[in-house]
Structure 1
Amino acid sequence: MNSNLENIENIFKQMSKDNWDINNELKWEFTFFDKRKSKLKKIASHLKKEYKFNTKEIEKSELGDWKLEVFKKEILNPNELHQINLKLNHLANSIGIELFDGWSVEKINDF
């Protein structure tokens, strides 16, 4: 995944326009795919330990690969999100994960 700070800044501006309270905690979710479940278990363990991410169950995707979703509830600004994306991209590459698919965000009261 290519992380672009300018795009993230624009997304944050749009979120504010859409009445998202970006100054309070939101649920930030990051998704990984790989054909090998063991690789996803490895990155999940690292993300829990080093970054205090919560993890969902690793499950089969519609395309047959394994899918890992990790999330955190926190307040982020565009630069912090960009830095997280860069770190996760680097970590995924170093472990040999096939795809770091990026991030999504939800309001806390939406889940």
Structure 2
Amino acid sequence: MDSSLDHITALFAQMQASGFDTSAPLKWCYYFTDAQMAPLRPLFEQLRDEGYANEYIGQVEEGQPWTLFMSKTELLTPALLHERNLVFNQLAAHHGIAAYDGWRVEKMTLFNPE
């Protein structure tokens, strides 16, 4: 995934404008894709051991690339997210994975039963 710090900084401003509290922990989701599942398995295990949650590993449809979708709830700044993207690009290359396919963020919701 190719992304600059300037681009990520602009995305954080857009997130704040649309109601994300970027000064609080958010659920950050990351995607890796490959034609085969085998290279995704060691990365899955590594990220799991580093505190990431497994959201999905599989194929949406037969013949489509395999996707590893991991998440972690934490506080990130634009600089930290940029560094994470660089590290994930390196991890994908190290594990022979075709692509670190990017990220998304989700607002945290609190459950109040009342």
Q: Same fold (TM over 0.5)?
A: yes
Q: Give, in whole Å, the separation in 2 of the partners of 1:57 and 1:80.
A: 24
TM-score under structure 1 normalisation? 0.91
1:39 aligns with 39
The unaligned stretches of length 5 or more in structure 2 are: none
* 2:7 partner SS: helix
Deviation at 1:71, TM superposition (A): 0.3
Q: TM-score, normalized by length of structure 2?
A: 0.89
Distance 1:57 1:102 in 2: 15
**Cα distance in 2 for residues equivalent to 1:85 and 1:100:** 8
Cα distance in structure 1, aligned partners of 2:6 and 2:82: 9
Percent identity over the alignment is 35
SS at match of 2:38: helix
Dislocated runs of 4+, deviation >6 Å? none
What is the SS of the residue equivalent to 1:38? coil
User: CA shift at 1:36, angstroms?
Assistant: 1.4
> Is the contact made by 2:31 and 2:68 (CA closer than 8 Å) also made in structure 1?
yes
Matched with 1:55 is 54
Equivalent residue number for residue 3 of structure 2: 3
Task: Give the drift of 1:109.
Answer: 1.6
Q: Name which one, 1 or 2, has greater alpha-carbon Rg.
A: 2
Q: Deviations over 1:72-99 (max 9, x none)?
A: 0011000000000000000101111011
Q: Which has the higher helix share?
A: 1
Query: What residue number does 1:19 align with?
Result: 19
Give the paired residue count: 109
Structure 1 runs not aligned, ≥5 long:
none
